[in-house]
Amino acid sequence: MRILITVLLALIAPLSSMSIASANSDWPSRIVKIIVPFPAGGSTDIIAREVAQGLTAKFGQSFIVENRPGAGSTVGTAAVARAPADGYTFLITSSHFAIVPSLYEQLQYDPARDLKGVSLLVNIPVILVATPSLPVKSVKELIEYDKRSPGKLNFGSSGAGGINHLSGELFNNMAGTNLVHIPYKGTAPAMQDLLSGNIQIMFDAISTSLPNIKAGLIKPIAWTGAKPSPALPELPTIGDSGLPGYNTTSWLAMFAPAGVPPDLIAKISREINVILNKPEVKERQISQGVEIVASTPQELDRIVETEMPKWSAFVKLIGIKAE
């Protein structure tokens, strides 16, 4: 009996491999969904549509972006985690992915078990911006203004637990300010309230703030990263403006349901690298302050493994939970 089982396993193994190879050889044979767990119009959505357009052109099959916002990006992420591992559903999300596990006591998915990295896409510098009517031009002036009127300044973000939210909380922690967080369901509604004056400041991705800065509708205060961005090279960083050590940057990446064959993941990852490094795409993104950093699946997994404990420690330090 043991010999028979061994023989059967030996026969089944190559058949299984052939089945996966066959499935991959005619992939994609139907529409592929890329779920973005944020509303349309934000930086994640913009990059996702760039990638979807490139993949559609390469494979001759439609790659469509489906926005599924809600619960700090966890609604859309959970949908991908539960999707069949057949190569027809992917996730493009932000650094929320590494942060939200420390904010929610219970998630509908396990990011380490249920999702697999495909490729890091871009780094997006985060910028501190304000309404033109706010009488501050620098980090120092902002801190002084807040301390004269504590609790009166509101800062918006694309949602609780994201890098934009935590950039504000880190600022409060290091500067001793009392900026009040106002979470929105995405960047677009938060920016709309900043433009209308309902909130006074915002920590935002440069790709969505830059057009409004150029139009004079909002004013830049400082970069949140370790160095200035070429998009506004003369603008100082928060760290160089009186809060040494302050440093936050947003990244975007693609993930797949666990169980998608590694060769298919590698295939998509390689093509994303080609798409994002095409001269016209790269030039367009750089002009918006976005840094192309297409990676291998393994490099993305290592970034997530590093980011999760870092943000978990900070979330515990300041004691915030999902709102």
Q: Is the peptide bond before 28 cis (omega within 30 degrees of 0)?
A: yes
pTM: predicted TM-score of the whole model, two decimal places: 0.81
Q: Given the DSSP bridges, would you call strands 32-36 and 89-94 parallel, antiparallel or unpaired?
A: parallel
Average pLDDT over residues 124-147: 95
- Which of these, 201, 203, 146, lies nearest to 178 by C-alpha position? 146
Which DSSP state fits 239? Answer: G
Residue 281: what are its φ and ψ, rounded to 5°? -70, -45
Question: Is it the case that residue 159 has pLDDT exceeding 50?
Answer: yes
pLDDT band at 15 (very low <50, low <70, confident <90, very high): very low
Q: What is the pLDDT of residues 252-281, one digit of tens each?
A: 999 999 999 999 999 999 999 999 999 999
Q: Is residue 10 part of a domain?
A: no
Q: What is the pLDDT of residue 323?
A: 56
Same domain, yes or no, for 290 and 223? no
Last residue of a domain, one of 218, 241, 264: 241
Instruction: Tell me whether residue 158 is exposed, middle or buried, using C-beta atoms within 10 angstroms of its C-beta: 0 to 12, 13 to 18, 19 or more.
Output: buried
Indicate the range of 182-186, 210-214, 255-259 predicted with least confidence: 182-186
pLDDT of residue 287: 83
Q: Supply the range of the domain harboring residue 110.
A: 29-124+250-318
**Confidence at 24, pLDDT banded by 50, 70, 90:** low
Residue percentage of the chain with pLDDT more than 70: 92
Residues facing residue 233 across a β-bridge: none
Number of structural domains found in the chain: 2
- In the predicted model, is pLDDT for residue 6 greater than 50? no
DSSP annotation of 232:
S
Task: Indicate the helix (H) or strand (E) that contains 118.
Answer: strand 115-130
Query: Which among 134, 138, 211 is positioned nearest to 175, based on CA atoms?
Result: 138
Q: Tens digit of pLDDT for each residue in 148-157?
A: 988 899 999 9
**Quick one: average pLDDT of 103-129?**
93
Q: Indicate if 275 and 173 belong to the same structural domain.
A: no
Does residue 96 sit in the same domain as residue 41?
Answer: yes
Task: Quote the CA–CA distance of 224 and 72 in Å, as a whole number.
Answer: 21
- Is the same domain home to 261 and 120? yes
90, 165: one domain: no
Q: What percent of the chain has pLDDT over 90?
A: 66
pLDDT reported for residue 273: 96
For residue 284, give Cα distances in angstroms to 42, 48, 276, 287, 289: 16, 14, 10, 5, 9
Answer whether 104's CB lies under 8 Å from 74's CB: yes
Q: Same domain, yes or no, for 235 and 132?
A: yes
pLDDT value at residue 42: 81
The strand pairing partners of 123, in sequence order, are 251, 291
Mean pLDDT of 122-140: 95
The amino acid sitting at 115 is: L
181, 79: one domain: no
Q: What are phi and psi of 137, to 5 degrees?
A: -125, -5
Q: How confident is the model at residue 14 (pLDDT cuts 50, 70, 90)?
A: very low
Render pLDDT for 65-111 as a digit per residue (tens, 0 to 9): 999 988 878 999 999 999 999 999 999 999 989 998 888 888 899 99
The count of residues in the chain is: 323
Assess whether 145 and 223 both reside in one domain: yes
Last residue of a domain, one of 241, 261, 291: 241
Strands 291-292 and 115-130: antiparallel
Checking if the pLDDT of 17 tops 80, the result is: no
- Answer whether 206's CB lies under 8 Å from 127's CB: yes
Same domain, 227 and 136: yes
Higher-scoring residue by pLDDT: 161, 223: 223
Domain check: are 113 and 173 in the same one?
no
**Which stretch of 130-134, 210-214, 222-226, 284-288 has the lowest confidence by average pLDDT?**
284-288
CATH of the domain at 135: 3.40.190.10
Tell whether 213 and 165 lie within a shared domain.
yes
CA dihedral over 33, 34, 35, 40, signed as positive or negative: negative
Contact 102, 316 (CB under 8 A): yes
What is the pLDDT, as a whole number, of residue 23? 46
Pair of tokens at residue 141 = 């002036």
